[in-house]
Structure 1
Amino acid sequence: MQPLARPSSPEEAEEVRSSASTSPPAKGGRRRRAASEGALPLPRPLSSSSERFDLGRRSPSFRRDVGHAAAETFLLTRLTLILLRYLGLGYRWITKFLALVCYAMFLMPGLLQVGCYYFFSSQVRRSVVYGNQPRNRLDLYLPEDMNEPKPVVAFVTGGAWIIGYKAWGTLLGRRLAERGVIVACIDYRNFPQGTISDMVKDVSQGISFVCNNIASYGGDPSRIYLVGQSAGAHIAACALVDQAIKECGEGESTTWSISQIKTYFGVSGGYNMVNLVDHFHGRGLYRSVFLSIMEGEQSLKRFSPEVVLRDLKYRHAVSLLPRIILLHGTSDSSIPSNTSKNFADALWSAGVQVELVLYKGKSHTDLFLQDPLRGGRDELLEKIISVIHAGDEVALAKDAVAPPARRLLPEFVLQLARKMSPF
């Protein structure tokens, strides 16, 4: 089946491509060339630890926040109406949507606590501009102690390529910041505001911003890690593979290097879109919509990192990839865990250093959402931290005595939410 047609009129096409802009990039200061998007402003370098700490304080005025919220609400409403035209009245997606509403309601008491941290903590710097396109923004989660350069995680959140948003990374950002890690949650255009090539381009530009500018926020540019979850894992993997191909002389110039990424963590991701079309269709992400997101059936292989890895003409590019760790729950029904296993096999065959970690009985959202809300030991967090702090005896000693995370929801509520989960 072919993908749905694009909007028929120029006005409708422009509606899909454009959106209300949020706050413009700051003027002045040194500028650095960034791919084909034009120059981006660099933040003022920090001269002291106290100045680094001050970056955590929120500077936008209340009026600006209100204006930003109004623009985002208008944009979201418009794009929702466009999306509904694509989805039609299919019972599968409507059922999944209703399940999502119930799921969110069960988790709401815990999510409200997380939201308070996101909006009011002095350690969160929201909506840092990294590019000129709509939603080219990222959130920074800063540790309290900024007396020395910190390791950095660039995080790409999931959301079925449709409902992804940078704030979904708040739980992970908060927990990692508490362990002395700066987290940059990269936002990107979702469908129908953009298609997969737009998403990969946005994420690549966000990674470039982190690599080139994180030192100004107290980060260590020699210790940058990339984490993607669900659809974000797929997009981040595409960005990595695409970057490796560019560095081999195929494609446009680059503004960051694969060598700047120490490790890539793929959490509950899908890496072979050819094999997942029918699976997603059965779960409410209809074939026509999915092919529209992926820019047609002919593009599925191009945006399938596993397929690209097996192509001998890209073998040299694949050799540039960093260490890759794939994490997946064995009870994941949204994206089956064998997708990570197959990707790991392809990476191993191509000579890439890869590790596969399967969590028995974990669902698609357990690792990323329910487990952190449960408090106590967080397996995903501990795995990421163990890699980031490997060889740092001081950091490892602090990890050993770190207090367990506070429980945000009772266990019976989490179990009810898990039963209602559309994921």
Structure 2
Amino acid sequence: MKHIHISKPLLKQVSTILWLVLLSTVSACNNPGLFFANSLARFDNVTVIENIAYGKHTLNHLSVYLPENKQAHPATIIFFYGGCWGGCETLNKEQYLFVAQALTAKGFNVIIPDYRRHPEVKFDGIMRDATQSVEWVKAHIADYGGDPKRLFLMGHSAGAHIAAMLTLNEKYLSPDTYPSIKGFIGLAGPYDFLPFTDDYQKIVFGPVENYPNTQPVNFVDGTEPPLLLLYGNDDDMVKPINIESLNRTVKQKGGCVKSHRYDGLDHTDLLGALSIPLQTQEPVMNDLVDFIYYYSEGNKTCQH
């Protein structure tokens, strides 16, 4: 059999082009890129338990992904998807199978919850659901072979904002649960985005006097769990001031934070880097896995 050698730069270019082409392709899914990424996700060695209720609302359900080849004390990653808190897209947990595949392949347990969003609820309702889902994981992950003291919060875009609020503002989680959060991973998250530029944001985060309480950067005190901030330099949805401000503030307060910025990736590409076509071509996957491995082992010194 004749083997054809394709250089890594060319392979990366072809994979990226394929991803971008599929982003513009019409499909049954309201986001073609997510449809394509999920179509490649496989769970042959993963136990999937879907639609577990963590609350009373129809959207208060989550899915659990458990790899057969776990770490000795597997960390559990709770992933929150975005969609402008409901202001620009209506997404659901089934559209992020590729995120679960990427992380379970590394031996981590993965939880992806749905949650209520605008226009049904405002910010407080969104955060109540997010809090409730994390409290469910803390109470029940041991039943699935996970360690309730090794939890990581992760999100993309508005989901990163939600996860950051849970990580930085201790009021949301119970005193028993909060110490179990070993780290935060934010992909293209808005952390310091006042003044609001979209009308729906003014509704979601209102009234006006509550605006400062919706900004994760305002709750940094230097004692929060370690943060990993990931950002694509071609992002035209979330401004770079968000990652710059949070990174700077955590360092000024003496906390642990590590940030990575990637040339050639935009708001969507950053998440797409976790899909099978790209997870071995971009450094995003390695950067977040290294972070989880390091802090799930109980390391107390900041990773640099």
Local SS of the residue matching 1:334: coil
CA separation of 1:112 and 1:223: change in aligned 2, threshold 3 A: same
Partner of 2:11: none
Letter in 2 for 1:344: N
| Corresponding residue number in structure 2 for 1:304 | 215
Does the 8 A contact of 1:110 with 1:373 survive in 2?
no
* Residue 339 of structure 1 pairs with residue 268 of structure 2: no
Q: Which of 242, 246, 251 is the matching residue for 1:348?
A: 251
Change (3 A) 1:116 1:175: closer
Q: Which residue does 2:93 correspond to in 1?
A: 166
In structure 1, C-alpha distance between the alignment counterparts of 2:194 and 2:295, rounded to whole Å: 40
The one-letter amino acid of 2:257's match is V
Whole-angstrom CA distance in 2 between matches of 1:187 and 1:380: 24
Counterparts in 2 of 1:109 and 1:300: CA distance versus 1, 3 Å: closer
Question: CA 1:256 to 1:133, structure 2 compared with 1: closer, same or farther past 3 Å?
Answer: farther
**For residues 261 and 290 of structure 2, what CA distance do their matches in structure 1 show?**
16
Q: Distance in 2 between matches of 1:324 and 1:296?
A: 29
CA distance in 2, matches of 1:184, 1:344: 26
- TM-score (structure 1 length as normaliser): 0.58
2:274 and 2:40 mapped to 1: Cα distance? 19
How many angstroms does 1:255 deviate by?
6.3
For 1:121 and 1:158, the matched residues in 2 are separated by: 27
Structure ranking higher in helix proportion = 1
The letter of the residue matching 1:177 is T
Alignment partner of 2:275: what SS? Answer: helix
Name stretches of at least 5 consecutive residues in structure 2 with no aligned partner: 1-21, 298-304
TM-score (norm 2): 0.78
2:26 alignment partner in structure 1 = 105
- The equivalent position to 2:181 in structure 1, one of 249, 261, 266, is 261
Q: Secondary structure at the match of 1:372?
A: coil
Which of 269, 293, 296 aligns to 2:204? It is 293
**1:212 partnered with 2:139:** yes
Tell me what 1:229 maps to. Answer: 156
CA-based RMSD: 2.9
Q: 1:357 to 1:386 in 2, by over 3 A?
A: same
Q: Verify: 1:178 aligned to 2:105, yes or no.
A: yes
Matched, 1:153 2:77: yes
Counterpart-to-counterpart distance in 2, 1:219 and 1:301: 36
**Alignment-mate amino acid for residue 156 of structure 1:** F
Using the TM superposition, give the Cα deviation of residue 146 of structure 1 relative to its aligned residue in structure 2, in angstroms: 5.4
Residues 50-90 of structure 1, C-alpha deviation per residue, up to 9 Å, x if partnerless? xxxxxxxxxxxxxxxxxxxxxxxxxxxxxxxxxxxxxxxxx
- 1:284-307 deviations in whole A, cap 9, x for unaligned? xxx2x2211112332211101113
In 1, are the aligned partners of 2:80 and 2:112 still within 8 Å (CA)? yes
Specify whether residues 102 and 327 from structure 1 end up closer, same or farther in structure 2 by C-alpha distance, changes over 3 A only. closer
Which residue number in structure 1 is paired with residue 8 of structure 2?
none
Residue 235 of structure 1 aligns with an amino acid whose one-letter code is: I
Residue identity over aligned pairs, in percent, reads: 24
- Native 8 Å contact 1:273 1:301 kept in 2: no
Aligned to 1:126, what secondary structure does the other structure show? strand
1:383 aligns with 2:287: yes
- Return closer, same or farther for 1:116/1:379 CA change in 2, 3 Å cut-off: closer
User: CA distance change for structure 1 residues 319 and 371 in 2, over 3 Å: closer, same or farther?
Assistant: closer
Report the 3-state secondary structure (helix = DSSP H, G, I; strand = E; otherwise coil) of the residue aligned with 2:82: coil
Q: How does 1:131-146 map to 2 (within 5 A)?
A: 131-145=55-69
Aligned counterpart, 2:18: none
State the match for 1:23 in structure 2.
Answer: none
Distance 1:145 1:322, change over 3 A: same
Match in the other structure for 2:127: 200
Partners of 1:222 and 1:158 in 2: CA distance: 26
Shift of 1:351: 2.1
Work out the number of aligned pairs and report it. Answer: 269
Aligned partner letter, 2:242: T
Consecutive unaligned residues in structure 1, runs of 5 or more:
1-100, 248-253, 282-286, 310-317, 394-423
Q: Distance in 2 between matches of 1:392 and 1:206?
A: 20
The equivalent of 1:129 in structure 2 is 53
Write out per-residue CA displacement over residues 346-385 of structure 1, whole angstroms, 9 at most, x where no aligned residue. 1222222111211122100112125625333342221121
